[in-house]
Amino acid sequence: MAAPAPVLDHVVIDVRDRIDEAMHCFQSLGFYLTPRGRHILGSVNHLAMFATDYLELLGFAGDGPIRPEIRRFPVGLNGLVFKTADADAVYGQAEAAALPVLPVQSFSRPLALDGATRDARFRTTRLDPDKVDMGRVYFCEHQTPDLVWRPEWQTHTNGACAIARVVVATAEPRHTARLFRGLFGDDAIADRDGSQIISAGNARVELFTPDAIAAEFGETAAEPAGRTEFMAALGIRVRSLPEARRYLRSVRGLRDEPHRLVVPAGVAFNTAVVFTE
């Protein structure tokens, strides 16, 4: 079976029981967020939708069961999700590569739309988060994409239009890249001076050493929260950097550079958010 090409579907910022605060925070950064969703698994979310991918704020509301796989994660960028049209095929591929893959999971969340309630349905193939240090890595098969990617949700005041990069901190990038080689094959990984780069559709997943993260992000990077491997920063592509700069200039601690803007992790739920054209 040929390995699938990596294409990013979405990323997940865990906000735990602070979903209201997170909603207001990311709205203040210029993201348009979808109405609150409630998964049958025991989690709530808001999405910032782009043309082919999206950012998910995921938490729990305190009035029901808590989704088990998110309970153990600290606040921050913890979910890296790739697209698939066949969750079962991905399971077979991961199993054949001797990766720690979990059984395919099906779930849904009701959505009020045009005066009716419909179910947005998903099937996911997940790697065991207890055996993958960087966080939750999984594949999502959208069974109802028309209920997720809707034009009225894709216009953002800050001009955001796509996810550009996900930066992962790891002491051994080449070792961590073995996971992605097992999923996507050797040709999907590029070595750049020891850092490992995975092209995933319009986005990149970048595996950097802590020293390289410190050199690029300094105090704006995410806190490890006791972890040796974690997702440290999120890149967002905008239509116009000058327009984004005008909107974000009052953000506390904003790092304004000639070709990008960096919102410190300390003001964005332990996620450094980098805006570029």
Model confidence at 112, pLDDT cuts 50, 70, 90, reads confident
Task: Give the model's pLDDT for residue 97.
Answer: 92
Query: And the tokens for 250?
Result: 């009052």
Residue ranges of E strands in 50-170: 54-59, 76-83, 105-113, 116-126, 136-142, 160-169
Q: How many CB atoms lie within 10 A of CB 187?
A: 9
DSSP state of 2: P
Query: And the tokens for 45?
Result: 């979310």
Residue 218 pLDDT exceeds 70? yes
Q: Report which residue type is found at 47.
A: L
Helix (H) or strand (E) holding 95: helix 87-96
Q: pTM here?
A: 0.95
pLDDT cut 90: percent of the chain above it: 88
Residue 64 pLDDT exceeds 80? no
What's the rounded Cα separation, in Å, for the pair 87 and 138? 10
Residue 65 pLDDT exceeds 70? no
Task: Give the model's pLDDT for residue 10.
Answer: 98
> Each residue of 228-276: pLDDT tens digit?
999 999 999 999 999 999 999 999 999 999 999 999 999 999 999 999 9
> Each residue of 129-169: pLDDT tens digit?
999 999 999 999 999 999 999 999 999 999 999 999 999 99
> Each residue of 11-43: pLDDT tens digit?
999 999 999 999 999 999 999 999 998 887 778
**Residue 46: C-alpha distances to residues 8, 142, 184, 227, 239 (Å):** 18, 17, 29, 26, 22
> Each residue of 170-205: pLDDT tens digit?
999 999 999 999 999 999 999 999 999 999 999 999
Task: Give the model's pLDDT for residue 61.
Answer: 76
Task: Give the model's pLDDT for residue 114.
Answer: 82
Task: Give the model's pLDDT for residue 2.
Answer: 65
